[in-house]
């Protein structure tokens, strides 16, 4: 459900005040089926089937005000979003030991609440006789993530038994994956300020512009985590789901006494930290027009960034860097309807708090432990691209471009062994490719009037990337950047007549294989298999255009989201049937959404 409203009023002479307000609420329930299988080079490890039930609710609101007076405008923008998700997973399957499959049953139940509030006060002013323009903003944002009680229980059938048992380790070695509870809470406050000036001037008989300004951003994060594992005061205990003992009552007072059950902290997963990030930046920029056809926008930005992490019982982690980031964009008008653009820039990618914090998190879905790395360094990149674009008609474009990126110390997720994922700096990485784009009306096709209102869109890119990882066993192995696809294809066709009473959009998307998890030095990198995604949207105006009925069908083919292993000796990352091994397959399903919208008032005072 969504309600939105807005209005504007003339105040005094040319002054104007307006507002817009919107609130929305949504609730959804879904079930996904996931298959998980694991093997290494020599043996089969397990086969799992997951039933994943998710209940989600979302509440959001927007409230914006704006006031125009003389040569100024002041606006206050407010945004709030809160979502609440409960996920329950029931996992069944076999764990193989010496080729004998042992039945396994496990449960994961977690609730997560995320909220975000942002408020920005901004202004735009023309000073003097249109000689100087100033804009500024002050902002405050608060985000939080609360996971009050994640519960994991894992049971196994042993030889000769027709019931499952829960195995507890000694109090010095509790394991979340067997029987654990996790409580985490994160709160972050962000304060920001920006001030920019723009000065027009004449040079070479053409209009020019000089811009300068600065910004300040301060982040304060507070994170706490408590991870507890069920254990026994004895060296080991097996609790059978038998003779009236169920998942619901397994931790009854009777069983606590009988098996000497206790809750023990898991030190690697219990980490509270406080983090701050202080960014101060300033820039100079020139917008130079040399002729009607030649334009150069160039300048530089200087950033000072100080980041600190304080963890109880550990030395303070401090990171202090100053970066000079130049950029330039040259545009040449080849004809009235075509341009040639050449751009260059240097950028920086700094590690996030989560990547730096020496905190370990258990990923139930993928059977991984994820841990930060306090020794991470920032990554810098040099970027260049060349683009030709032509605009045959209104809303139409034909373009082709090539690009190149060179990374120094790129941050990559790596596998430290024993299913522990962490973050490390690679030595360097290279990323280059080409892209083409086409958006064209089909009114040049004769024979039917329908083509006058059809628009075809297509976009395709080829990307080559390679990472130089330190300590790699095979330095010649073509390891791509994590998450980087070698190609992507987007396309679609839309129908929208001039009266706007009816519209149709058909969209297609395909993204090439992506490295999801980097393997150990022995290999076994995990990739995500490409899938074809087709979406359809149909809308129709009703009730004299005051109402709108809309149908959305998302992911019509509903192909599985599959992850696969690349075994040593096969350097091609593309999936090869019969050689590569599917380790995870999730059936996402097709989503049907029917929306009705009605506009009660449309007049503006």
Residue 285: strand pairing partners: 211, 299
Mark the ranges of the chain whose per-residue pLDDT is less than 70. 98-99, 471-478, 520-523, 568-571, 602-605
- Other beta carbons within 10 Å of 493: 15
- Residues 539 and 594: their CA atoms lie apart, in Å, by 10
Model confidence, pTM: 0.88
Q: Smallest Cα–Cα separation from 108: which of 367, 335, 439?
A: 367
Helix (H) or strand (E) holding 255: helix 253-258
* pLDDT of res. 604: 46
Do residues 39 and 22 lie in contact, with contact meaning Cβ atoms separated by under 8 Å? no
Do residues 234 and 260 lie in contact, with contact meaning Cβ atoms separated by under 8 Å? yes
- Residues 150 and 86: their CA atoms lie apart, in Å, by 10
Q: What single DSSP character describes residue 355? A: H
Do residues 485 and 528 lie in contact, with contact meaning Cβ atoms separated by under 8 Å? no
Where are the chain's structural domains?
A: 2-598
**pLDDT tens across 413-443, in order?**
988 777 889 999 999 999 999 999 999 998 8
Query: CATH code for 2-598?
Result: 2.40.170.20
CA 243 to chain centre: 47
**pLDDT tens across 488-507, in order?**
999 999 998 877 789 999 99
């Amino acid at each position: 459900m969504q309600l939105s409203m807005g209005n504007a009023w003339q105040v005094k002479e040319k002054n104007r005040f307006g507002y817009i307000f919107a609130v929305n609420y949504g609730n959804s329930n879904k079930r996904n089926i996931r298959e998980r299988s694991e093997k290494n080079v020599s043996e089969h490890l397990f086969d799992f089937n997951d039933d994943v039930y998710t209940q989600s609710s979302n509440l959001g609101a927007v409230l914006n005000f704006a006031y125009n007076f003389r040569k100024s405008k002041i606006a206050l923008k407010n945004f709030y979003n809160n979502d609440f998700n409960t996920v329950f997973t029931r996992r069944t399957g076999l764990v193989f030991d010496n080729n004998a499959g042992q039945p396994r049953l496990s449960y994961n139940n977690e609730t997560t609440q995320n909220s975000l509030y942002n408020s920005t006060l901004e202004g735009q002013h023309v000073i003097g006789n249109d000689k100087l323009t100033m804009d500024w903003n002050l902002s405050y944002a608060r985000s939080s993530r609360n996971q009050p009680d994640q519960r994991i229980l894992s049971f196994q059938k042993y030889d000769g038994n027709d019931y499952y048992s829960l195995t507890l380790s000694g109090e010095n070695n509790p394991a979340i994956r067997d029987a654990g509870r996790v409580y985490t809470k994160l709160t972050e406050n962000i304060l920001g300020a920006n001030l920019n000036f723009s000065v027009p001037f004449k040079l070479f008989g053409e209009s020019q512009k000089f811009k300068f300004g600065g910004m300040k951003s301060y982040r304060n994060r507070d994170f706490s985590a408590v991870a507890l594992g069920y254990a026994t005061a004895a060296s080991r205990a097996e609790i059978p789901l038998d003779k009236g003992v169920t998942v619901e009552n397994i931790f009854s007072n009777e069983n606590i006494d009988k098996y000497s059950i206790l809750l023990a902290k898991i030190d690697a997963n219990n980490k509270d930290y406080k983090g701050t990030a202080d960014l101060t930046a300033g820039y100079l920029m020139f917008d130079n027009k040399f002729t009607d056809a030649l334009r150069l926008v160039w300048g530089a930005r200087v950033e000072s960034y100080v980041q600190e992490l304080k963890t109880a019982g550990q030395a303070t982690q401090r990171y202090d860097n100053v970066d000079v980031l130049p950029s330039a964009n040259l545009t040449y008008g080849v004809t009235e309807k075509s341009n040639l653009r050449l751009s260059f820039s240097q950028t920086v990618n700094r590690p996030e708090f989560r990547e730096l914090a020496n905190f370990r998190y258990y990923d139930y879905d993928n059977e991984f432990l994820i841990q930060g790395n306090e020794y991470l360094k920032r990554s810098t990149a040099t970027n260049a691209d060349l683009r030709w674009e032509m605009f045959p008609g209104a809303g139409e474009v034909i373009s082709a471009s090539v690009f190149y990126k060179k990374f120094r110390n790129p941050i990559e997720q790596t596998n430290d062994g024993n299913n522990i994922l962490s973050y490390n700096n690679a030595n360097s990485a290279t990323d280059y490719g080409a892209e083409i784009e086409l958006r064209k009306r089909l009114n040049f096709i004769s024979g039917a009037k329908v083509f006058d209102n059809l628009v075809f869109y297509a976009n395709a890119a080829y990307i080559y990337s390679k990472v130089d990882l330190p300590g790699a066993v095979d330095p010649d192995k073509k390891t791509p950047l994590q998450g980087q696809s070698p190609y992507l294809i987007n396309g679609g066709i839309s129908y929208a007549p001039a009266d706007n009473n009816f519209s149709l959009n058909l969209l297609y998307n395909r993204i090439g294989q992506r490295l999801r998890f980097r393997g150990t030095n022995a290999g076994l990198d995990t990739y995500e298999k490409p899938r074809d995604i087709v979406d359809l949207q149909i809308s129709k105006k009703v009730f004299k255009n005051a109402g709108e009925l809309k149908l959305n069908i998302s992911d019509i083919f509903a192909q599985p989201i599959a992850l696969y292993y690349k075994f040593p000796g096969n350097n091609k990352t593309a999936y090869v049937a019969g050689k590569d091994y599917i380790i995870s397959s999730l059936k996402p399903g097709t989503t049907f959404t029917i929306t009705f919208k009605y506009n009660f008032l449309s007049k503006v005072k």
